[in-house]
Structure 1
């Protein structure tokens, strides 16, 4: 996707792109940045020089993590760096600020896994001639709703990411904007908790806010409006759950257990929510438009990211 050539810092284009990507995704490794921003460069030395310029000017900081016997740098923006990105006004402002403690804390691996999931979409979009860039997903955007199972409570659904992807059918000359809710599961939460998150998506899908009737209506009477999600999306986003952090056999059992719990939830069995689950390895290896997703609801017939059974899609 295109990037601006100017900015408030006087830095080069690649350094500015890097600052935007780090701001959007909060914590990003050098490898991920290389694949997102400079994939046309065989090696990452040029990008590293740009990143070290960000650090030298006080706009970014790093922490290290050990992986495969080597130290990998993870990048995050300082307060000065975040303000510099916000001053340009190209990205929605995010109140979250990273710190050394947070960068080294328990959410480090989950944040990087979410970036890795978005990166898989970016790389496959390049291969397939579709459109999905480094800034085409936003982490942790709150969606407010109410649930009949929890009357009187104001609830919020916070996907790990909301990802936009433009699917291009060259033969039909058709472009389709697909929006996805992304949930990344590193097998750190119980399967019951994961099923509860799935329930929250169904409750948000079905949530229709109510407002007081107009003047002259009977006292206490309320009229329904459109579903809450329609104020944000023309079509309700498909939900993609991406599993990682365990062996294939364990992840497959987790998928089966999730389907079993979903089948026993009345809210889920009555919803038209489209949700599929796969593993990060399958997503990276085959891409989102191969039949790698197991539907969470209904028949366990593999589907691609359209979340339609292959017979129907054909």
Structure 2
């Protein structure tokens, strides 16, 4: 089988462009993000244009049956994600908002697809695994210096107990020390299995929402207590930045403001300085 050679002339009405069409960007955005509101797509893709320009392309995709319209929601046929202003699953918009707020300041530097699909998991031994809502990849550019940052992101919607939320830090600490022993292979000389995926262990960020301020303050206190009292988590905190933030603060002030609470103690900082 051979590849067809490109034609000397292009089809009438088609003009090749180095810029990806908005319709393609919409589909490419829905695939990894799984769902987003029209407003969020507008902010990610065309913040300098009218919202109508995004809506028109969405309508075209609807007409081609690439997305489904189920008022008040849109569903990506191929990614099985939901594009909704009022999702029937209340936790979904909160997750999308958390991801969008963290990514907006970096849009012009790296784009909206600079993260893997939602939900990432790694084995931690004994047949168990740690599951993160996502792993964020971020390139920080400061005074011509480029620094690669990565973070496991946990979006807590107050659907699990505060104790269970804090216990997730134990799972990340287990991943940090986990050394898998595949049959027939030599022992990993570093003793750190996560080096198969990351050059540096990603920081762990918790975004809290779905409860009143006092309840979320209590959940942060429980996270801090886990860092202070569990020896394995304490060891992790000495080497890996751990932080928490209220989604409302993230939305109001932005991810690069002093809104992230260091779980090892200290005053709120931008997440990049934890």
**Scaled by the length of structure 1, what TM-score is found?**
0.72
Among 223, 229, 233, the alignment partner of 2:187 is: 223
> Cα RMSD over matched residues?
2.7
Give the match for residue 129 of structure 2.
Answer: 156
Among 185, 189, 193, the alignment partner of 2:160 is: 189
Deviations 1:129-157 (A, max 9, x none): x73422122311222221xxxxxx22222
Give the match for residue 170 of structure 2.
Answer: 199
Among 140, 155, 167, the alignment partner of 1:167 is: 140
**CA distance in structure 2 between the aligned counterparts of 1:245 and 1:55, rounded to whole angstroms:** 32
SS in 1 for 2:132: coil
Distance 1:154 1:38, change over 3 A: same
Task: Could you list the structure 1 runs, at least 4 aligned residues long, displaced by more than 6 angstroms after superposition.
Answer: none
Give the match for residue 75 of structure 2.
Answer: 76
SS in 1 for 2:104: helix
SS in 2 for 1:195: helix
Give the match for residue 48 of structure 2.
Answer: 40
**CA distance in structure 1 between the aligned counterparts of 2:40 and 2:184, rounded to whole angstroms:** 52
Structure 1's unaligned 5+ residue stretches are: 7-11, 65-72, 83-96, 147-152, 215-221, 309-314
**CA distance in structure 2 between the aligned counterparts of 1:287 and 1:136, rounded to whole angstroms:** 19
Q: How many residues align?
A: 253
Contact 2:170–2:233 (Cα < 8 Å) also in 1:
yes
Distance 1:249 1:124, change over 3 A: farther
Distance 1:197 1:74, change over 3 A: farther
**Scaled by the length of structure 2, what TM-score is found?**
0.82
**CA distance in structure 2 between the aligned counterparts of 1:74 and 1:134, rounded to whole angstroms:** 21
SS in 2 for 1:210: coil
Give the match for residue 240 of structure 1.
Answer: 205
Give the match for residue 91 of structure 1.
Answer: none
Distance 1:144 1:5, change over 3 A: farther
Among 286, 295, 307, the alignment partner of 2:253 is: 286
**CA distance in structure 2 between the aligned counterparts of 1:5 and 1:154, rounded to whole angstroms:** 49
Give the match for residue 69 of structure 1.
Answer: none
Distance 1:61 1:187, change over 3 A: same
Alignment of 1:1-314 (within 5 A): 13-41=21-49, 43-64=50-71, 73-79=72-78, 82=79, 97-98=80-81, 108-126=89-107, 131-138=109-116, 139-146=118-125, 153-170=126-143, 173-211=144-182, 223-226=187-190, 227-271=192-236, 272-296=239-263, 298-308=264-274
**CA distance in structure 1 between the aligned counterparts of 2:158 and 2:180, rounded to whole angstroms:** 34
Deviation at 1:248, TM superposition (A): 2.5
Structure 2's unaligned 5+ residue stretches are: 1-15
Deviations 1:157-206 (A, max 9, x none): 22111111111113xx1011111111111111110110121211111111
Contact 2:35–2:82 (Cα < 8 Å) also in 1:
no
Deviations 1:285-310 (A, max 9, x none): 333333221122x32432321344xx
